Structure 1
């Protein structure tokens, strides 16, 4: 009954201090109401009366009625809050992912591509109010999924990305240009590309700098990520007879100057990920840098609970009046 009850006017509870004062007043007033008679002996008199002993009940009933009225004045009520959110600044994001053979290197666990897919999946789940698309690239590029607000589609497409879908190579310019093409018609206030690679541009017919200029022209910010340890990494070097990869140590080559230039031209930022932890930190930082503004509307519905207290106080006062004019009439 009293769950989730709040009081609109709790200051009225100060009036409860009147109750002990009323009790004190009644204690002294009670003595004045009792007539005294001095006699030498009370033998033969009946001095006990149940009605006279129960007389204080009338005052107790009146105090209870007063307490109920004070509580009613404090306006007990329940509050029901419903919320509705409105996205006031949506962000469209395209994640361009390198799927060349070097992404199978094992300097990240279990390898670069699987580590990226896990971190990117967490990033997507943290962007419930944005539209996200995926672009894969190796020697050429393709759209894995256009920008969409359906995160289940994006996550499913991310899980399906694998090496071997395209001819091997690293066409950074093609990957960036395809991403720009996905975003250039977007009406979103903010448009972002997250381009990840672990190599140097060695394929494709679009220069990365040209693609970066296109991104800047369309107001598309690009965050670039260079993935891989410094030095050598255990990478696929050949196929075994059973079709599995033969691994060997290969030099890590990342064109950091190019990635920094792309980020600078488009107003983005360059990051370097050398292990699983730093890759997670990079996506966390991008998540913080690109915030979607949400406007929240709250609707309050109040249900007043003072009416039963008023009825209770009325009933108590009526009971007190009835007892005073019936059972206790000859004693008051």
Structure 2
């Protein structure tokens, strides 16, 4: 990684040089017109004999250069310093976690959601060199945490995941997959994996087609089924009673394995039913290890040599220097 501008978006400001050139040309043209209006050649020579077009051009050039240097200062040129201990090997993995209320079912103790969190934490412990992102979803998907190697921060985000994080209920897996895809760098077409953890309770007809499209873009989707085919009641945290449907019957939430299996099969991923966390992590690790690892610099930990101050100083000296340069020639003794 060589020199780079942190704020390259301000490069358009360099177009201001054209504005400066036009203004200086108009000023020069205005002076010519004033001279022509005077008419008297002897008077013009007396008034403008000491004027130096070279000095005028020099002052104009210095101001233009000061503007360019100022824009470069704003663009913040930098160069990575020491990279010792920074370069890593790893892959990018986005974990899509279902936080719908059905994840509160207790067929996995203490409940599905808590067991899912335990699984995620164990998986991160086994992936110290990988960048992890977190998407939470129910009736809608949200990027809870962008890709990062800061697994301690990731654990905090995981621990706070709850049904209340997504007001709209349901299990829209297709939205979760799209949001997961958006978390990756679009310029890279490899080394991307998603671990989707859900009970798959609500059938999402768009999920399979979305998965196929993302697989064509180089994304592997691994799915983890949470719950049991027999199902369990869903406790309501607010009332302490089991959730009931419109008829007043208690709702039983069942694991929808078929859809989760199809998602994995269509994207070269693996389906794992969570029963024992250690075994589930082992299966996921084995699948993820098939993805080629890549080297990437952890920019958040990298020290940079910055040159903003040098550009700012150069701009200041050019402006001051231009101020003290006259437009007239020195009088001969």
TM-score by length of 2: 0.55
How big is the shift at 1:202?
4.9
How many Å separate the matches in 1 of 2:258 and 2:203? 15
2:198, 2:226 within 8 Å by CA — same for their partners in 1? yes
How big is the shift at 1:254?
3.3
Aligned length: 203
2:208, 2:263 within 8 Å by CA — same for their partners in 1? yes
2:97, 2:137 within 8 Å by CA — same for their partners in 1? yes
How big is the shift at 1:230?
2.6
1:235, 1:250 within 8 Å by CA — same for their partners in 2? yes
Secondary structure of the structure 2 residue equivalent to 1:266: coil
Structure 1 match to 2:278: 280
2:194, 2:222 within 8 Å by CA — same for their partners in 1? yes
How many Å separate the matches in 2 of 1:186 and 1:136? 24
How many Å separate the matches in 2 of 1:173 and 1:100? 15
2:229, 2:256 within 8 Å by CA — same for their partners in 1? no
How many Å separate the matches in 2 of 1:154 and 1:188? 24
Deviations 1:127-163 (A, max 9, x none): 1111000000001110000111111221111111111
Structure 1 match to 2:147: 147
Residue 221 in 1 paired to residue 216 in 2? Answer: no
1:106 to 1:255, Cα distance in 2 relative to 1, 3 A: closer
How big is the shift at 1:117?
0.8
Deviations 1:220-240 (A, max 9, x none): 00101121123131322x56x
2:229, 2:255 within 8 Å by CA — same for their partners in 1? no
How many Å separate the matches in 2 of 1:269 and 1:192? 11
Two-structure CA RMSD over aligned residues (Å): 2.7
Residue 209 in 1 paired to residue 216 in 2? Answer: no
Unaligned runs of 5+ in 2: 1-83, 244-249, 296-333
Range moving further from structure 2, 285-294 or 118-127: 285-294
Structure 1 match to 2:288: 290
How many Å separate the matches in 2 of 1:222 and 1:293? 17
2:269, 2:287 within 8 Å by CA — same for their partners in 1? no
Residue 107 in 1 paired to residue 107 in 2? Answer: yes
Secondary structure of the structure 1 residue equivalent to 2:106: coil
1:129, 1:149 within 8 Å by CA — same for their partners in 2? yes
How big is the shift at 1:184?
5.2
How many Å separate the matches in 2 of 1:113 and 1:136? 11
How big is the shift at 1:288?
2.9
Deviations 1:27-77 (A, max 9, x none): xxxxxxxxxxxxxxxxxxxxxxxxxxxxxxxxxxxxxxxxxxxxxxxxxxx
2:231, 2:255 within 8 Å by CA — same for their partners in 1? no
Residue 247 in 1 paired to residue 245 in 2? Answer: no
If each structure's strand is expressed as a fraction of its own residues, which one has the higher value?
Answer: 1
How big is the shift at 1:253?
3.0
TM-score by length of 1: 0.55
2:233, 2:253 within 8 Å by CA — same for their partners in 1? no
Structure 1 match to 2:183: 182
How many Å separate the matches in 1 of 2:164 and 2:102? 12
How many Å separate the matches in 2 of 1:251 and 1:234? 5
How many Å separate the matches in 1 of 2:200 and 2:240? 19
Unaligned runs of 5+ in 1: 1-82, 296-332
Structure 2 match to 1:73: none
Structure number with greater Rg is 1
Residue 161 in 1 paired to residue 161 in 2? Answer: yes
Residue 191 in 1 paired to residue 189 in 2? Answer: no
Deviations 1:168-217 (A, max 9, x none): 211111111111121252648411100111133357xx810232022212
